[in-house]
Structure 1
Amino acid sequence: FTVISIRCCTFILFFYSFIFSSFKGVYISNLVVLFQWEVTQRTLNGSQFYTYSVCNVGEREQDNWLRTTFIQRRPAASRVFVELQFIVRDCNSFDATSLTCKETFNLFTSESDADVGTTFRKGQFKKVATIAPDEITSKNELRINTETRVVENLSRKGFYLAFQDIGACVALLSTRVYYKTCPATVKSLASFPETVAGGENQALREVSGVCVDNAVSEKLPRIYCTVDGEWVVPVGQCQCKPGYEEVKDACQECQPGFFKAVASGDKCELCPANTQRLSSGVLFCPCMDGFYRAPTDPSTGPCSGLPSAPRDLVATTTQLSAGKLLLTWSPPEDTGGRIDITYSIECQRCEGIVCQPCGEKIRYEPASTGLTDTKVSVSELDAHLNYTFIVEAHSGVSLFASQATILYPVSSDPPKITTMRVVERTSTSLSLSWDVSPRPRVPNTQVRPIRYELTFRKKDDNLDMTTYIVLILEKNSVQINDLAPGTAYLFRVQALSSDGSPGGSSIEEQFETSSEVIFGAAVGGAAMLFVVVVILFLRRRKRNSNSRQGPEDTYFSSSEQLKPLKTYVDPHTYEDPNVAVLKFATEIHPSHITKQKVIGAGEFGEVYRGILKVPARKEVAVAIKTLKPGYTEKQRQDFLSEASIMGQFSHQNIIRLEGVVTKFKHAMIVTEYMENGALDRYLKDHDGEFPSFQLVGMLRGIAAGMKYLSDMSYVHRDLAARNILVNNTLECKVSDFGLSRVLEDNPEGTYTTSGGKIPIRWTAPEAIAYRKFTSASDVWSFGIVMWEVMAFGERPYWDMSNHEVMKAINEAFRLPAPMDCPSTVYQLMLQCWLQDRSKRPRFGDIVNLLDKLLRSPDSLKTIADFDPRISIRLPSTSGSDGSPFRSVSEWLESIKMSQYSENFTCAGVVTMDHVLQMKNEDIKNIGVRLPGHLKRIAYSILGLKDQTSTLSVFAV
């Protein structure tokens, strides 16, 4: 220290150096001592140390100074801590002549860009604090005090500290000057450098990180350094590259025989079957020789071999005369390890030694390709020909087909009639022709001409009185005359065998003669008239639709769904906020409002229950928000801005604004009255009384309201059960629209607002980190509301601090399932809490899913896994301080069931040993009837027993 006495001449002496320590920082300075403050060697607890003391209590006008040497400052350290250990003697221990005795001294600081040496100017120092002891030293007992003060907003290259004594008897034992840093760390495979903690004006200092070797990230990883030197709220994470896995904050190559295909946080996987396991760090394992992957197979899947040929191919004749047969076979002996085996049939027609494809006329039942069954029926085969059938087995990896072949000879029956058609049509005649299948040419034989038998009749004839006409023809065409106009006839043609008897297959077709000219013209005219009428009707309907749906319509149609055309307008964009109020809210005369009872208190004043009686309208119960006296104009505008917001909404699940009072002295906001109040309090008061189906119905209403707000591009930002109101029909409505203004006006609004702390435990992590709110962040909050509802108003994250909540969420902790929560509902909660906001469901999706659950109540019967010691934060055998519960009432209070203390006492359950012996029937017998309360107490006892058993094991 440099010691200066302003009352005397200035003497300078560098005498002794203090030893300094650092706390999350570095050594900053040594201290030098001189005159007036005396250097004294003392012994305390067997150790010797030096003190710097002054004790001129008998002299008047004391002004003694003790100054440090120049302390160089690290550029980023704008905030340092000064920790002092000192002793102050009690003034009452001196005689009455010591009238100037003080019991405090002062701490000063002065900044400089260079060491000024021994130069000292009192006017250059700025007071930091007055140092007062917590304990004063008497004659008989030594009391050491420790005080820490903060020096803020340092900006120059260094500074001095100075201590001023104005008449105290004080001894300075040690001075420790330090700053705080967040240490270098690796989190989520991102490396962050050591960072000096910010000051009060920068509560969180954002720091960018770098992915460790062989790790990548879509977004630059960031983290925040708090003023206490702790890392919080990491944003973004790195993932090991393909071929690497995370091992102790580093990315290492996959070992031989393992692979990893994409950048992710997953571990390397074992190479699948039939793959090569050669090197390390591979993205996928290649197939072994003779094994393949199908084009649709993932590169990470196993490899498959080719299927062998089908076995035991057999042709069975079913209707030989009709050219039909049945092919059957057995599956391949070796499928190559695949299950996607299919079969195809190839047919070749042979005449002598020449074979060619059978063509499209051969029919297969059910098909000729893509068969999954081992049989197929083949028909429409010609006589006198040899056929070869090839059955091929296919799979996803078939590079060539495995075949089975069979030769099928067909008997020499008459050829088959393949097609029949109309060549010419009149009102009284039909000209027909037909095709036949080709006939084999046998060497040295004469081909006989084919004759045909044609049979026809009127379609409408009674079968009992039908007249058939039969014609024997030498060629494959005929003209039939003398037919009735506009009449349908059925024709059957069949080839005759060599002996003149019908043989082979026949074909039957229906043809109709044309109608008379006049009738045809009439029908055509009627058809044209009908078309014209339909066109005129459609045009008129479209014109009417367009006239109804103008630019001022509330809704319009899109390919997805009906969405509101109306978009939320921020009232703060108006230059005069009063204009926004008049635009979006109805003015009410105060004489129409009757206040009845105070039901709460808001940020701006009391909230009343009352009656609104407007002329020509039925009186209705309302809630009346008032503005407390003594308000400023800004407070009045802030108060009415919520009405400007509410007035834009019209939905059954949004609290309805009845109107405002602005033109009179006492401003008021009048809304519909919700008889059951806030949802969280209502659920706590009715714990366990509602089934899951009814709770899901409440959630559906909240989600519908939030979907409406989201469709209007409005972000609520403070969605919580306390801001949901419940009416007498248990309909839930979203309320409290004041937070939007606060967050937009206050850049620090993520943590504090004029109304108190922002609810960290309801807020999405990206909203905390960036102060950016979207409908996706509202979806996160809705997930928390779902948890509150299913837990009957339990506080999210229980008694954890906000800091603990942020840290836990960042480490992927999510609230566990509440007691008796359906699994489907809890899975929806987890979807709402996805770290990546783009993957969270939209409110429209949430409404659809909840509707589906309500339509299928059985889907709510499967209950999610539940751990009572985690899910309802029940203590085990001890209280919050770790000691065993001293009484039954203390235990009941810890699980919020203290209303049953008298029941336990009357039943003689007065010790924790008695509690441990209770069963479910015992709990019912002492008067616990509500299912939720019964389960809470039972689960707590279960937790007590489990913990007692664990403690016993450790004791052994």
Structure 2
Amino acid sequence: MALQRVLLLLRLLLCCYGDEEVLLNTKLVTSDLQWSVYPGSDPQWDEVSVLDDEHNTVRTFEICTPNSATYHWLRTNWVPRKTGTTLYVEIRFTMMECSSLNQRQCKETFTVFSYESDLATPSRGPLGPSPPESFQKVATVAADFLLRRGGDGARRSNTRLLRLDGVKKAGLYLAIQSQGTCMALLSLKVFYRKCPPLTVAFATFPETVPHSLVQQAVGVCVENAVTPPGEHTTLPSMLCGEDGQWAGLPSSSCSCRPGYEADGDARCRACPAGHFKPSSGLGTCTSCPDFSGTQVPGSAYCLCRHGYLRADSDSPSAACSKPPSAPRSPVAQLNSSLSLSLEWGPPLDFGGRSDVWYRVLCERCHDDVCSPCEGSVLIGPSTTVTQTRVMVMGLRPRALYVFTVQSLNGVSALSQSQPSAVRVNVTTNTNVPGLVSGLRRTSASETSLTLEWAPPSLIQNPDQTKTASRVLDYQLRYCPKQGEGSMQWQYVSSRGHSVVLLGLRRSTQYLVQVRARAVTGFGPFCAETSVSTLPEGQSHLVLIAVLVTMAILLLVGGAMVAALCYRRRTQRRPTRDKSSFQMNQNMTLYIDPFTYEDPELAVRQFTREIDASCVKIEEVIGAGEFGEVCRGRLHVPGRPQNYVAIKTLKGGYTDKQRRDFLSEASIMGQFQHPNIIHLEGVITSSCPAMILTEYMENGALDSFLRVNDGQFTGIQLVGMLRGIAAGMKYLSDMSYVHRDLAARNILVNANLVCKVSDFGLSRFLTENSSDPTYTSSLGGKIPIRWTAPEAIAYRKFTSASDAWSYGIVMWEVMSYGERPYWDMSNQDVINAIEQDYRLPPPTDCPAALHWLMLDCWQKERANRPRFCDVVSGLDRLIRNPASLKNTDSAHSSQPLLDQRPIARLSSCSSVSDWLRAIKMERYEQSFFQNGLCTLEEVSVLTTEDLLRAGVTLAGHQKKILSSIQTLRSSDQSHAPTLLY
């Protein structure tokens, strides 16, 4: 596109010179001009014929009155202006030098006048020695080259170009006034300029006369050309300059419509048969893609041949394709726990497409009658897959199953024929427990259920021992009874025939199923049973009364003991300082200034008013939400002078803006901590209102890190993180939730001390702000890249959501201010987090720190660390700086938050026991669906296997692999430790 515009501009410069419309040119007249002269009684202007430089006969006027002071006039005939409003007068003349004539009245200038008239005969003419009022002076003309009497030099003529603006009447007269001159009028030319007709960029523009500095001309697209999409109502236009030349390039230029290509830049020609062009623009016609064609010239698309199709998502330039052939060589391998792995080979013919996937259908047959499999049969990871392998669970023993594998691609849904498929028959006959029977509720409360069931019948082959058939334990799953397809099962295990479910919702129906497990594997789940918890108020009242009574007695006893202890302490030691006691009380209580009926009261209570004369603003250092941010000096009498940062409230504010502006000061005034920005005071009694805080020399942390990329040691970076965590611990202890913790809101002073800032509760962020935001369903703007999932979805802001944001800040610090999630869009970030994606460790990031980041990014907010734990963990890291050199997360041995050893595979009796021991029981179902049913299979797992099993969270992968590593490690005395 840029090259095309350059070529068009060159064409305009080389080809499109301005045209002239000549109204009068005496050089072309050979007969008498018959112009008027004055005074008529003594005419001095003589009309004569002479030869010009090209030996052509031309009419000229001559006058020579160097010894006369009388005005002598020469007036042209009426000159029509036609369509011009800016006229040009070109005068060519010669003039004698007065010094050679030696006459006192001699002059070397003459004057040009004009008179506009709609009639060919003017109402007034030059009748006196001075010009009438109707004549307007145009210019006084002087000669550049003068002739000397008796001189032998070449006769050089003079040329002057005069401009007449704003001519409105139908025509005009020109008059030349001579007084004492000796001159010859060689030629007089009157014309106006115009831009010639032009065809450029597939648009045609008419001849245009400029009536001002520039004149806009509207054109039309040439045949088979259109304006670009989105500009169909805008006609192309160009600017005609006053010099009669086209300026610039056309706006809203035209282009050849679909099915036509450019032939130069002024014509569009149709694509020949067998070729197409799908869109308007500069593209050229191309041959039809495979298995398609067209017989009509000027086609925008090519039709698929018989038997071939094109999906709706395919581009017009994509080749036509057809459904794939059937999958090949299906193999079903039955496991010992009524599950099987079903594999097949890809089809021989993909149909010319790469988007091939497979659908697996299951039928259970009995007495030659087949019906779809019941809901207890699970096909994983889904019935529709792109890989050539699935796991099937929940099969019944001694049953015949028929599995159909269909191959499909993007055009299968458009085809009239059934998808190509292959079938495989499987008969189950394994020694596993049968169905559990008699599942029932024995007792219930508002939040709990007690369930019992009868042991199953065991299916035993003659060659199996009784021990192989013994039930080891039972697995029960339950979920609230909801709409179809929305079940989220939760699993519990029991070694007996009963289980108690706790933490349930009151007055809610639950669906429950149970199955038995033997050494050979799990049996099938029993049919779903519906049970419900009790509604509020219908629990055992006696038990509640007893519990309440015991609680009251404990409270009374505790109060008495506390009173006695307090009396003894007051008798033994002096009373505490009252101000110290109040300060300790305030440390645990944050008061929201918006709870005040009059917000000014909160400002007066928590801030200090400073006289405006004590503040001197030196320079503007940035722009804040409500106005400018400045650097200045604060000099309060009796205190040393110091630098401060000053936030100002811009003029024209509303009452709400002033209240929101001062609320930040009311919040900061309640905090006193070395890692929280310190409030010096406010100015509210004069305009503009100001908030004064301590001045942080190095500014915002993110930009400071980017400027000093790679300049700090690991201990220095950890020290910065420790300071931020200490400030957030202080805020958390005061029950304050920051909501917008990010490196941009951390300020750094000259000593590299980091302090938390930006406590405004009302933030008016926009979409083109530097902080990307997302509008939640409940309203308000949220900085997506730093915000916890529950805060994005439900606006649940807590200290746990601040802990998530702190993990992002850690990543920013260790990457020296890199943008979290790079160039991903807000929606991509949300989707990635929901799919358990977490940021990888920055370059050279210590493994222990990345473990801590993963802790902060736990999906369950209750599992995230508290800020007091973060501070303690970072302190341990600072005391052991050698651990910062370990950047291998898989072999990290420095725990920060937990000292519990990871469970070894050798100490567990089953995969379920092992997953529960390492707190990873959430993946139990996924492991079984992928055939990971024995400890031997688990012991050889790799990262790729975990991904296929649905373990996508990096921290969980490391935790599982670390546990497996202990089984293969020869040194059992250095077992890895948990970081969760």
If the TM-score is normalised by the length of the shorter chain, which range does it land in? 0.3 to 0.5
TM-score of the superposed pair, with normalisation by structure 2: 0.45
TM-score of the superposed pair, with normalisation by structure 1: 0.46
